[in-house]
Amino acid sequence: MSAIDIREVLARARARGLKETSKRAVRRVYHSLEQRLDLRSLDFPLEAGDIASPAVGRASERTPLAESQAIGWICTPPGAGSGGHTTFFRMVRGMEERGHRCTVLLYDRHGGELDRQRALIRANWPELEADIKAVPANLDSFDSCVASSWDTAHVLASRIAAGSVTRPFYFIQDYEPYFYARGSLYALAEDSYRFGFTHIALGQFVAGALRREAGVDSEVIPFGSDLSAYRLISSRQRSGIVFFARPDTDRRGYDLGRLALQEFHALHPAQEIHIYGSRVRGWGIPLTQHGTLTARGLNELYNRTITGLALSFTNITLVAAEMLAAGNIAVLNDHEFSRQVLTNPEAVWAAPSPSQLARALGSVVTDPHRADRSIRAASHTGPSWAGAQAEVARIIAGGAS
């Protein structure tokens, strides 16, 4: 390092403090190593041979099959508490209950240990009876296969042989190109809707985005609520607020939530702030961190807290309905597609800015009638997932649900 560099570092340390200057130095070193070692290639979600062309795709025939099919359900290995996997596995379970032979096929770009991944699924989704295997090189042994994300749609398209009778489906919970800036991953995600699969869209927002952005049609299935896991269990005094933190998933509004909660704490310092999901650092305010929680643990946390943030900037997060079912008054970033799905009248909608979200949280914790609101919120139960499961069965089985 030259003398000029040293002077620059010292000047920054005086202006910004040693801690922030050290962070910036570490980031510069990381970016240098990232370029030299090509670390970014590790984040690419597909093997080169699994990138499919839209020309490879083929439409599934919609004729009824035998009462019991062999169905492969392709997904990436889940982490504990993954909401997208939970919804996908609910559809698997619905087909199991109808007598179909289901196999969860894990696509792991990085070659993780299958036994560990299988054990994690068994521990976190014990109701699932399906076999759990690595996705094979050829999928022709299945009557139907269901992709669960844009990368697994590429895998499905690339591993069905020409002339195969395997029927391909794509269970779509979000318009996934929105996850990225315009570029390579955006384009590959967009291509996943052009393989000719039968699209099963969760909710009208996804169906509308598919039609508007990609020019493709889909079968629409309704959202549901987990009526057994999330419910009012206590009439005790509530206090504090809750936030599901996902720093690596920008569409879940982590930075916006952090700024809003810092502002909320300045206005209401006596209210405890509970964080679950990822453990976070550097907020500069008191936090109670819970890490990953089971559905039972979450329901208990929602029952003891007054309100919380349920942020999502693509499809609506299921966290909102789960909070409300437990009597927690969820505060959401206001958007038309969210209002179409969540009809609970006790939900609070706010403009997506730190100050507006903080004020919305404050309006709930200072409401003298908040106990009555909690009871009303929990009594407004939405539909279960049975309707979605029945629709998926109708679509995949080609007839009866």
**CATH number of the domain encompassing residue 217:** 3.40.50.11090
Whole-structure pTM over 0.75, yes or no?
Answer: yes
Q: Say if strands 167-172 and 144-147 run parallel, antiparallel, or are unpaired.
A: parallel
Q: Is residue 65 part of a domain?
A: yes
Asked if 392 and 144 touch (Cβ cutoff 8 Å), the reply is no
Smallest CA-to-CA distance from 293 within 344, 242, 251 is with 242
Domain identity same for 299 and 343: yes
Domain identity same for 174 and 93: yes
Q: At what angle do helices 370-379 and 354-365 cross, to 10 degrees?
A: 100
Domain of 289, in residue numbers: 241-379
Residues paired with residue 274 on neighbouring β-strands, in sequence order:
242, 288
Domain identity same for 393 and 365: no
Q: Is residue 6 part of a domain?
A: no
Ramachandran area for residue 168 (φ above 0: left; ψ -120 to 50: alpha; else beta)? beta
Smallest CA-to-CA distance from 228 within 312, 148, 127, 98 is with 127
Asked if 347 and 295 touch (Cβ cutoff 8 Å), the reply is no
- Say how far apart CA 373 and CA 393 lie, in whole Å: 37
Domain identity same for 56 and 201: yes
**Token couple for 138:** 């050829």
Q: What are the helix (H) ranges across 167-313?
A: 184-191, 204-209, 254-267, 295-304
Domain identity same for 167 and 295: no
What is the pLDDT, as a whole number, of residue 281?
A: 94
Asked if 333 and 268 touch (Cβ cutoff 8 Å), the reply is no
- Into how many domains does the chain fold? 2
Q: Render each residue's pLDDT in the chain as its tens digit; 401 residues.
A: 444 567 766 776 677 776 666 666 666 665 565 556 445 555 778 999 999 988 655 555 555 556 789 999 999 999 888 889 999 999 999 999 999 999 999 999 988 999 999 999 999 999 999 999 999 999 999 999 999 999 999 999 999 987 788 999 999 999 999 999 999 999 999 999 999 999 999 998 899 999 999 999 999 999 888 878 899 997 778 999 999 999 988 999 999 999 999 999 999 999 999 999 999 999 999 999 999 998 899 999 999 999 999 999 988 898 999 999 999 999 999 987 788 788 899 999 999 999 999 999 999 999 999 999 999 999 987 788 999 999 999 999 874 44
The beta strands (E) that lie in 149-224 are given as 167-172, 198-202, 219-221
Q: Say if strands 348-350 and 329-333 run parallel, antiparallel, or are unpaired.
A: parallel
Domain identity same for 79 and 215: yes
DSSP helix/strand/coil, 275: strand
Domain identity same for 57 and 158: yes
Domain identity same for 187 and 257: no
- Say how far apart CA 280 and CA 288 lie, in whole Å: 10
- Say how far apart CA 147 and CA 168 lie, in whole Å: 8
What is the pLDDT, as a whole number, of residue 66?
A: 60
List the end-to-end C-alpha distance of the chain, in Å, as a whole number.
69
What is the pLDDT, as a whole number, of residue 90?
A: 96
What is the pLDDT, as a whole number, of residue 1?
A: 41
- Vertex 68, ends 66 and 74: CA angle to 5°? 110
Q: Is residue 3 part of a domain?
A: no
Residues paired with residue 132 on neighbouring β-strands, in sequence order:
104
Domain identity same for 220 and 254: no
DSSP helix/strand/coil, 109: coil
What is the pLDDT, as a whole number, of residue 163?
A: 72
Q: Is residue 210 part of a domain?
A: yes
